Chains A and B, each alone.
Chain A
Amino acid sequence: MRLEVEGLTRAYGGQRAVDGLSFALEAGEIGCLLGPSGCGKTTALRCIAGFDRPDGGQISAAGEVLAGPGAFVPPERRRIGMVFQDYALFPHLDVFGNVSFGLRGLDRAARDARAREVLDLVGLGELAGRYPDELSGGQQQRVALARALAPRPRLVLLDEPFSSLDTEVRRRLAGDVRAALKREGATALLVTHDQQEAFAIADRIGVMRAGRLEQWDSAWRLYHSPATRFVADFVGDGAFIPGHVEGERRVATELGPVEGELTTPLASGARVDLLLRPDDIVVDAGSPLRTRILDKCFRGAQFMYTLALPSGERVLALVPSHEDHEVGGELGIRLETRHLVGFAREA
């Protein structure tokens, strides 16, 4: 089902928690609202779920207006499932009771069959008789997902679904959750502050800041073609170095001229901050560009080096870990860019 949000606004005591949020999620897609805590993403989610009433804008699902001027569909009639941050499992019901809770209007056999089906989908078929407090965090999370999926909602919302799990479980579950959602053909929207989580699950990601949507795009484009400086900063590692535009495909920097297509066109001569991702920088012992190693961080296959340019500007470089250089030493680098990401320099 297609979800459409237009100009969604929600204020608390004059403070706009969500401010003109607009995006669309196509049927079968998994979307994600990504942003630091306090950016309004949870408020947006609660508005979509119907737990909160927007002050302005419109939310519609498959063409039906759920919330908008003069219209408000109560949450229980939206057919939108939700996985709560704390799961909100019913402690007085066992796993099976929780999962079949939302299955109404079905005969007993059909209900039981559907509950079993979703429990198997999340791999918890054997724990149907347990009570929530007898499950691990990851298991509770999967029960919450199964419970939300069981009534075949038009849309599933997931509120920071992995925040209370440890990293190991989180990584595995993220893949499982995506697989389960895709197998169900569900349309889903999650909110998170963790970009890895967003990348692992979502087809489309919206980066939010102070109630506004900065960019609504695929993960690849967020990374490689961020629309704003904030997105560039928030998504992925990188550093900005100053330069100025010399024509359509060329920026002059202290590392020499850098060639490539500018993702946002800027006038020739404009002063610019050029984004350099760690993978834009390649170690080249013979390069005349010499940098000093300030810091390094082992990441298994690679080292992340923090390098100081002669001017003192810093850049990050991702280097295969079989090349081990001492902190304080020198390193020759060169740039390997296909496109250029630059933002007009703020005065």
Chain B
Amino acid sequence: MTLAGRLLPGTAAILVALPMLAVLAAVLHGATGADPELWEHLRSFVLPGVTRSTLVLVAGVVALSLILGVSLGWLTAACDFPGRGFFAWALLLPLAMPAYVLAFVAVATLDYAGPVPSLLREWFGAGFTLPPIRSTGGVIAVLALAFYPYVYLLARGAFLTHGTRALEAGQSLGLGPWAGFFRVALPLARPWVAAGAALVAMETLADFGAVSVFNYDTFTTAIYKSWFGLFSLETALQLALVLLALVAVALAVEQLARGRARYALAGAGARPPARLRLRRRLALAATVYATLVFALAFALPALCLAVWALEVAPLDLDARYVAYVTRTLLLAGMAAVACAALAVVLGWAVRAGGGWPARIAARAATLGYAVPGTVLAVGVVGALAAADLAWVALGATEGLWLQGTVLALLLGYVARFLAVAHGPVEGGLARLKPSLAEAARSFGLGRLAVLLRVQLPLLRAGIGTALLLVFVDVMKEMPITLMTRPFGWDTLAVRVFEMTAEGEWRRAALPSLVITLAGLVPVVLLTRRIEDASRG
């Protein structure tokens, strides 16, 4: 191997990690200077409570997301029931619905004063009450309904490619389909299920919008309280670093637990999967279950948004919306391609002999997802503004060069969402047998050529998933967009923020609905693609 051949992967990985490293550096820089008295206060009155409530929330949301995502992924990938073809992609649609939107729809309709309990009281008397939506159970249910598609998407992909094959092997050893699911298909899908669960956990940890609607306290709300309420950005950043360290440890533990086990099944996907035929009653139950989840997570909230949006459309809907939509799609598209491409580079660098620098860079590059958005945004702005100041100190005209440009916005998105693209791409790479690359290299192809001509085409499903996830995530993203957008670059999410910040939820319905509708197109398109790619 030439020196360049050895240096290139490591350097590439570090370059990819640069946005996040810069952000981390800015956060670290901002986090200096302790306020012991404030910490004492937090330790006594805030942290014990939020630690407990955060653990409860994350455990609950991850558990419920796993149940929903894995069961629905299995049903639509490996079983036959009425409506399966529709649900296969429809169950992904909640991805297009921001969690904070689902949260405010849930609270506005299901809280005591909302139309549903009011109607029930009218019908069944004043004593009739539903379980309160503004409760721990309520937050968990709403967040799980918003986040389960991450697990669903990744688990289903794994089931599609090697579920049935492994199942046959299990059956030949006397396992029924259900036992086979638990003992073979599920363990085999573990890296993907784990990646989905990790995304859910990080989204939950970093979420501020949805938990705020419920006034549910988490580590993240404590971070905001330190900053917004206690005026200590330093302490907020320190808390964020603690959170980050915990996430890094959790991810490392999962990785270690996998040990030497591999998850590539020889000859997987050679045969189109024969779906399990469910008995009539089971099939019906599956349809009812999928319908229920789809209705609660998407159809009913979307309907509700539509009704509200119609009320306010005459007030708000005008030509500006064309620009909002265009900008939103443009930003989401660019960020999706950038993140997916960088995730591929990262995965390649680790495998192509990048050694420990590449591995550490890959870890660091994907931590941004667990950082509360606004905290990350502070880091992004800090890093960009510092670069601008340095540039000016070198003699450039005073003013902003990076901060407040689209490039800056994209750097922020990459810092935050690279993890989202990294998961599926890494999952796809893990499934490529090393012999493939070796075979290709034996034809005299260089590492890069192997990547372009052999690995990329085989990674289509993983890359498609990455594009989809980043795309919809960026459309929903608020804090980084708010803090780093160029003048006039208002997006749909900015619109939602401006309405919800004023408590005008009904008026927020219009941009929320448009985000959801705009998200439908890529969701539908890409699910088709992924399905084709994992079959063919």
Contacts and interface: CB of A to CB of B under 8 A. Distances in A.
Please determine if A and B sit in direct contact within the complex, based on CB atoms under 8 angstroms apart. Answer: yes
Interface of A: 49-52, 74-77, 79-82, 84-94, 101-102, 104, 131-134, 147-148, 151, 157
B266 A80 contact: no
A101 B169 CA distance: 10
Given A91-B264, A131-B262, A49 B174 contact: no
A131 B261 contact: yes
A233 B130 CA distance: 78
Interface stretch (B58-66, B180-188, B303-311, B406-414): B180-188
Contacts of B229: none
B261 A104 contact: no
Task: Kindly name the residue among B171, B175, B188 whose own CB sees the greatest number of chain A CB atoms within 10 A.
Answer: B171
Nearest to B435: A133
A75 B171 CA distance: 6
Contacts of A86: 266-267, 270
Contact of B261 (A74, A79, A81, A92): A92
B464 to A, nearest CB: 24
Contact of A88 (B179, B260, B266): B266
A92 B263 contact: yes
The list of the 3 closest CB pairs from A to B, nearest first, reads A102-B173, A86-B267, A82-B172
Contact of A92 (B168, B169, B190, B270): B190
A90 B171 contact: no
Nearest to A74: B176
B507 interface: no
B266 A76 contact: no
Contacts of A94: 261
A92 B274 CA distance: 23
Given A51-B274, A76-B180, A85-B267, A92 B187 contact: yes
A50 B171 contact: yes
Interface in B182-200: 183-184, 187-188, 190
Given A74-B176, A76-B180, A93-B261, A88 B267 contact: yes
17 contacts: A74-B176, A75-B168, A76-B174, A79-B174, A80-B172, A81-B172, A82-B172, A86-B266, A86-B267, A88-B267, A90-B184, A90-B187, A90-B188, A90-B265, A91-B261, A91-B265, A148-B173
B171 A89 contact: no
B266 A51 contact: no
Nearest to B176: A76
Nearest to A86: B267
A102 B187 contact: no
Given A76-B176, A88-B168, 6 more contacts: A77-B176, A88-B267, A90-B166, A92-B262, A131-B260, A131-B262
B506 interface: no
Contact of A84 (B169, B175, B179, B274): B169
A46 to B, nearest CB: 9
A102 B172 CA distance: 9
Interface string B455-480: 00000000000000000000000000
Given A51-B168, A51-B274, A93-B261, A87 B173 contact: no
Interface string B246-265: 00000000000000111111
A90 B261 CA distance: 9
